[in-house]
């Protein structure tokens, strides 16, 4: 493992892409930054622009409008980039999987590195997903 | 020639000040975490961030001026490192420096902010343009206050404009912060440092929640790593300037090494606590804060200094 990729694992900056989300996953993501779980211990920060991002976190179901935006955001990101499908909607589509406007789960649009299922995932599940992502 | 290059590149220059600035940045994040009852990042976190940014891809804007976009971070890094060398050398080797270096330091400390805004205007991003316009208004508002504070310090040190003379005057007659006007100056320069570092009450130029990092929005990879290095150096250079001008400077013999470190950490702690206990100001509020209140304090300090208080 080179020094660069070692540093990459130690400081993942997360950009949060919210699709047609119901905001429940978003709140659970913010829970991870609070004093009880504190993902900054692993060097993880939420940042505001895709140009600084190392992890693209996609939550919410992806419909036909979101699909092009998600592709554009993915192409704008500097590589190497890890993609996380977050919540039941991101992983499989959840209850929207057979909807009319649903444009497929995230892994049909862009390559996905880790799945964190749940509706919404508990902060413990998010931490388990982060550990899997770091050791990948 | 070799000696100057060594000063600039290694000992008080780029490498040394990036290392110390990284440690100070870690301390800043750790104190922030402790204020919020969190555990905080590990000790090497700023250097992990730097290593990762050097490892990532750098994206150039299609519609921007690419050379200016890439040159701006380099200018920021070099001028910040140069300012740090000029501030630190009179403390390390007493009597070194030249006449008027406080003015050179004043100009060099302005160049990082200017080059950030030139780089963000060159990127062609609309949010970057908004951030650049906010940055230039902030520069206009705090530079007048900063030069008034420097004038006051020059008057205090018997009209001498070299940093080593200012340190010598303080070592003979006690640190400037021991007088009423010194306390006023301390408050003024503390807020100017806060604005120069773009920390929270004055971080409207890179407000990540409204204009998503503003002036830094298009930077990625190595270019952003160089910006990070420049910001680490500024986080070291500005508290050092404060200690040098007001709190008696550094001394590197025996127990006074500990005393020097404590002065630096005290200034950093105050900056971090201000950052953690205040919301972001609007631009007009920040301009009013500097133009009216801080300028009144600085002029009051000058008047008190003339009456030897």
CA angle B130, B134, B138 (to 5 degrees): 170
- Model confidence band, residue B173 (pLDDT cutoffs 50, 70, 90): confident
CATH number, domain of A63, equals: 3.40.50.12280
- Model confidence band, residue B31 (pLDDT cutoffs 50, 70, 90): very high
C-alpha to C-alpha distances, B294 to B205, B241, B242, nearest whole angstrom: 20, 19, 16
Measured between beta carbons, the chain A residues lying within 8 angstroms of B208 are 47-49
Of the partner residues B41, B57, B213, the one whose CB lies closest to the CB of residue A43: B41
pLDDT tens, residue by residue, B34-66: 998 988 899 999 999 998 898 888 888 888 788
Cα distance from A38 to chain B (closest Cα, Å)?
Answer: 6
pTM: 0.90
Q: Under DSSP, is residue B169 helix (H, G, I), strand (E, B) or coil?
A: helix
Report the distance separating Cα A62 and Cα A52, nearest Å: 23
In the predicted model, what is the mean pLDDT of residues A64-91?
A: 88
- Model confidence band, residue B230 (pLDDT cutoffs 50, 70, 90): very high
CB A28 within 8 A of CB A119: no
Cross-chain residue pair B33–A40, CB shorter than 8 Å: yes
Measured between beta carbons, the chain A residues lying within 8 angstroms of B221 are 78
C-alpha to C-alpha distances, B197 to A31, B26, B45, B233, B239, nearest whole angstrom: 29, 15, 19, 10, 10
* Sequence-ordered list of residues with C-beta below 8 angstroms from that of B253, at least 6 positions apart, any chain: none
Measured between beta carbons, the chain B residues lying within 8 angstroms of A82 are none
Closest-CA residue of A relative to B215 is: A49
B56 to chain A, any CB pair closer than 8 A? The answer is yes
Q: What is the pLDDT of residue B296?
A: 92
Q: Under DSSP, is residue A15 helix (H, G, I), strand (E, B) or coil?
A: strand
Q: What is the pLDDT of residue A35?
A: 85
pLDDT tens, residue by residue, B196-215: 988 888 888 888 788 888 88
- For residue B138, give the nearest of B80, B205, B79, B183 by alpha carbon: B205
- Model confidence band, residue B27 (pLDDT cutoffs 50, 70, 90): very high
CB A78 within 8 A of CB A105: no
Of the partner residues A5, A34, A76, the one whose CB lies closest to the CB of residue B55: A5
pLDDT tens, residue by residue, A107-122: 888 899 888 888 888 8
Name the residue with higher pLDDT: B63 or B145: B145
Cα distance from B218 to chain A (closest Cα, Å)?
Answer: 6
In the predicted model, what is the mean pLDDT of residues B284-288?
A: 90
DSSP class of residue B281 equals: P
Of the partner residues A3, A41, A78, the one whose CB lies closest to the CB of residue B39: A41
**Would strands A45-46 and A82-86 be described as parallel, antiparallel, or unpaired?**
unpaired
Q: Tell whether the model's pLDDT for residue A94 goes beyond 90.
A: no
Q: Answer yes or no: is the ipTM higher than 0.90.
A: no
pLDDT tens, residue by residue, A4-39: 888 888 888 999 888 888 888 888 888 888 888 888
Q: Tell whether the model's pLDDT for residue B174 goes beyond 80.
A: no
Q: What is the pLDDT of residue B74?
A: 92
B32 to chain A, any CB pair closer than 8 A? The answer is no
Closest-CA residue of A relative to B207 is: A48
DSSP class of residue B64 equals: S
CA angle B31, B32, B34 (to 5 degrees): 60
DSSP class of residue A56 equals: E
- Model confidence band, residue B162 (pLDDT cutoffs 50, 70, 90): confident
Q: Which domain holds residue A36?
A: 3-134
Average the pLDDT over each of A130-134, B191-195, B297-301 and give the range with the smallest value: A130-134
CB A29 within 8 A of CB B190: no
Report the distance separating Cα B179 and Cα B18, nearest Å: 34
Residue percentage of chain A with pLDDT more than 70: 99
Name the residue with higher pLDDT: B124 or B229: B229
Q: Tell whether the model's pLDDT for residue B26 goes beyond 90.
A: yes
CB B118 within 8 A of CB B216: no
Measured between beta carbons, the chain A residues lying within 8 angstroms of B219 are 51-52
Domain count, chain A: 1
CA angle B274, B277, B279 (to 5 degrees): 100
Q: Tell whether the model's pLDDT for residue B252 goes beyond 80.
A: no
Report the distance separating Cα A49 and Cα A37, nearest Å: 24
- For residue B206, give the nearest of B191, B189, B224, B226 by alpha carbon: B224
Q: What is the pLDDT of residue A91?
A: 86
Q: What is the pLDDT of residue B24?
A: 92
The CB density around residue B269, as the number of other CB atoms within 10 Å, is 14
Report cis status (omega within 30 of 0) of the bond before A45. Answer: no
B217 to chain A, any CB pair closer than 8 A? The answer is yes
B69 to chain A, any CB pair closer than 8 A? The answer is no
C-alpha to C-alpha distances, B298 to A32, B11, B145, B149, B150, nearest whole angstrom: 44, 34, 7, 6, 9
Estimate the share of chain B in helix, then strand, then coil, as percent rounded to the nearest 5: 75, 0, 25
């Amino acid at each position: 493992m080179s020094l660069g990729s070692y540093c990459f694992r130690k400081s993942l900056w997360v950009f949060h892409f919210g699709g047609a989300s119901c905001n429940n996953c978003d709140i659970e993501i913010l829970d991870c930054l609070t004093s009880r779980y504190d993902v900054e211990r692993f060097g993880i920060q939420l940042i505001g622009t895709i140009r600084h991002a190392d992890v693209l976190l996609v939550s919410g179901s992806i419909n036909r409008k979101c699909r092009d935006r998600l592709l554009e955001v993915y192409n704008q990101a500097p590589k190497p980039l890890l993609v996380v499908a977050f919540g039941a909607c991101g992983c499989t589509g959840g209850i929207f999987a057979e909807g009319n406007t649903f444009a497929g789960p995230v892994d049909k649009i862009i390559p996905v590195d880790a799945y964190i299922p749940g509706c919404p995932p508990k902060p413990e599940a998010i931490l388990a997903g982060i550990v899997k992502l770091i050791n990948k | 020639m070799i000696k100057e290059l060594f000063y600039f590149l290694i000992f008080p220059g780029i490498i040394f000040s990036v290392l110390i600035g990284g440690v100070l940045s870690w301390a800043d994040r750790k104190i922030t975490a402790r204020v919020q009852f969190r555990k905080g990042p590990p000790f090497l976190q700023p250097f992990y961030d730097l290593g990762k940014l050097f490892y990532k891809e750098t994206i150039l804007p299609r519609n921007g001026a690419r050379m200016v976009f890439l040159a701006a971070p380099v200018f920021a890094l070099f001028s910040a490192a140069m300012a740090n060398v000029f501030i630190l050398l009179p403390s390390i080797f007493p009597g070194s420096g030249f006449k008027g270096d406080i003015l050179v330091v004043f100009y060099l400390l302005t160049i990082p902010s200017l080059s950030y805004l030139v780089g963000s205007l060159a990127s062609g991003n609309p949010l970057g343009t908004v951030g650049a316009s906010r940055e230039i208004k902030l520069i206009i508002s705090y530079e007048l206050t900063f030069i008034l504070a420097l004038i006051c310090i020059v008057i205090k040190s018997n009209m001498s404009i070299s940093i080593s003379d200012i340190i010598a005057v303080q070592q003979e007659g006690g640190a400037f912060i021991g007088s009423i006007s010194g306390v006023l100056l301390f408050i003024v320069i503390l807020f100017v440092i806060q604005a120069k570092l773009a920390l929270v009450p004055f971080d409207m130029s890179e407000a990540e929640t409204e204009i998503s990092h503003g002036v830094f929005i298009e930077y990625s990879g190595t270019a952003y790593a160089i910006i990070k290095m420049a910001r680490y150096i500024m986080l070291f250079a500005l508290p050092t300037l404060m200690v040098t001008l007001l709190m008696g400077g550094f001394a590197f013999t025996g127990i006074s090494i500990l005393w020097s470190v404590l002065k630096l950490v005290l200034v950093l702690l105050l900056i971090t606590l201000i950052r953690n206990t205040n919301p972001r100001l609007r631009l007009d509020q920040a301009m009013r804060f500097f133009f009216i209140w801080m300028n009144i304090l600085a002029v009051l300090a000058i008047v008190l200094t003339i009456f030897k208080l």
